Amino acid sequence: MSIKNFFVVLLVTIGAACNKKQTTTPIYNAPPNDQHISILTQHTDNSRAGFNSNETKLTTSNVNTSQFGKLFSLPVDDQVYAQPLVVGNLNISNGNHNVVFIAAVSNSVYAYDADNGTLYWQKNFSAPGMRAPRASDMTGACGGFYQDFSGSIGIVGTPVIDSISKTMYFVARNTNGSNTFNQYLHAINIVTGAEVNGSPVQIAATYNGNGDGSVNNIINFDSQKQNQRQALILVNGRIFVSFSSHCDWGPYHGWILGYNANNLQQEIVYNDTPDGIYGGIWESGMGLAADNQGSLYAVTGNGTVGVGNDPTNPRNRGESAMKLSVNAGSLKVETYFTPFNFQILEQQDLDYGVMGTFLIPNSNYYFTGCKDGNLYLLNKDNMGGYQLSSNQVQQTIPLGVDANLHCQPSYYKGAGKEFLYVWSENDPLRAFPFNRGSNTLELNNQLTYNGGGPKGQSGAMLTVSSNGDVAGTGIVWAAYAKTGDAEHAVSPGVLRAFDATDISKLLWSNDEKPAQDAAGTYAKFSSPVVANGHVYLATFSNSVAVYGIK
């Protein structure tokens, strides 16, 4: 065999091995774990409140520099934008294990033992003969100077897992490096990594309308320009996938597509600006929220509002929050809110849909925010619509014009204490008590942490853990860029932990002992995952750092 042919065979063999089920030796000698909690979707559940109330190991007493720190890292082949997901007590590799699933922008997916770092399988899901697109492939974005992504743009939106069928759903993007771009919805078996029957399906859609890019009153989905940034969501047997853009590179629209989770047949198509422009669904990488009745909740960015001179017409709903219900193959706007000054927001690029949003658990209220620094508390069943000169909403909370709210807020409920947390760039970490009597946030009783925080144009990604309402177990976890502007640059990251009942108390920070605890560079819009005594932190350093009790 010639040297050339030898290396060809070697490369083929290595490539085949990388796509097979495999087991490596453990990275970490972990004690047995009696916790088996699953985190199957972005920010814990479909409320997107980011609250794991079933964490029994981590407390305000043991999360400190002497007892808590980095245990090991899980290597992957590229940056991680998607939040890792955890399945507890999964029957895999001849035993039951807690497993963490990681999706990288190379279109690779990994299944690791969540407690000791054993690799169970890894696989790349790029289409044959294609690769993940890169920022340089978005030639018209930001006038040709696109920096919102620093490299590849394969799997970006956080997947979702159905623990009953043991299926993971995600979107992988592909290009041939020329003018061919496509996006595929995949459904894979989480035990083996194999595609399930009918997977993948190429994402395509059309919608009736005369908006930007329409031809003969038909708008076609554009696989290059439509950015699948948000997390996927599983609701009543359907997978919903939502889209924004690359730096407002048009023509684009805000799309929501619904697929049957069993056979991946497309059943729902919705476009939020069919007779206009833009309307991307961003929410700092969080996903659509859903209530127990199956209604979806979305917030849209810059784009057309109303039809003609009627801003109350629900057909075009840029710059708005919406409650959507399934209706005859599409989604119907049940109620909405559009700020009275939406024209100014539009002109100054202060879009509404920038902040992650969530439904306050066991309430009728939806927490949202706008790039102009205003937080809004909305009645989810009567959001307030559009009013000419004022906003008719439950509550408005101004943080200031520098708080652009590129962030993911979170929630906590303890014994007699209930808080909503938000940490925007250029603003302190804030904890607002939620009053169930008035259904408002108590601004006069808010708590703050003023010890320095995120700058630039990316705020903090927050998650909360506790052991129910047991005192001394509520912890707010915050990940953000320690320095630099993470919107357009890869920056060093920091992970911090605060007492959930008094956020002025910093419990632990991974920059206190950087030699042991540093994770790497900050993964923009990927929140920490807390499960089974561990914290999983995605990075742009081609790894996920794992923290726990040492």
What confidence tens digit (pLDDT) does each residue in 462-493 have? 999 999 999 999 999 999 999 988 889 999 99
The span from the CA of 278 to the CA of 188, in Å, is 32
What confidence tens digit (pLDDT) does each residue in 497-526 have? 999 999 999 999 999 999 999 999 999 999
Beta bridge mates, 536 = 529, 546
pLDDT above 70 for 19: no
Strand pairing class (160-162; 119-124): unpaired
Q: What pLDDT sits at residue 14? A: 40
Q: What pLDDT sits at residue 12? A: 37
Do 280 and 286 form a contact (C-beta atoms < 8 A)? no
Beta bridge mates, 202 = 184
Residues 6+ apart with CB under 8 A from 497: 63, 68, 475, 476, 477, 478, 506, 507, 508, 509
What confidence tens digit (pLDDT) does each residue in 153-192 have? 999 999 999 999 999 999 999 999 999 999 999 999 999 9
What does the buried/exposed string (b/e) look like for 198-232 if buried means 16 or more CB atoms within 10 Å of the residue's CB? ebbeebebebebebbbbeeeebebbbbbbbbbbbb
Token pair belonging to 425: 């760039």
Do 295 and 324 form a contact (C-beta atoms < 8 A)? yes
Q: Is 285 helix (H, G, I), strand (E, B) or coil?
A: helix
Lowest mean pLDDT among 252-256, 405-409, 455-459: 455-459
Nearest to 516 by CA among 489, 495, 538, 485: 495
Instruction: For residue 285, name the pLDDT band (cuts at 50, 70, 90).
Output: very high
Beta bridge mates, 431 = 421, 447
Instruction: For residue 3, name the pLDDT band (cuts at 50, 70, 90).
Output: very low
Token pair belonging to 509: 């920070």
Is the pTM value of this prediction over 0.85? yes
Residue type, 537: L
Beta bridge mates, 110 = 102, 122
pLDDT above 50 for 8: no
Token pair belonging to 47: 């409320």
Strand pairing class (461-465; 51-52): parallel
Q: Give the count of beta carbons closer than 10 Å to the beta carbon of residue 313.
A: 15
The span from the CA of 147 to the CA of 161, in Å, is 30
541 phi and psi angles, rounded to 5 deg = -95, 25
**CA diameter of the chain:** 80
Number of helices and strands (H, E) in the chain?
A: 3, 38
Token pair belonging to 346: 């539009």
Nearest to 375 by CA among 343, 347, 413, 337: 337
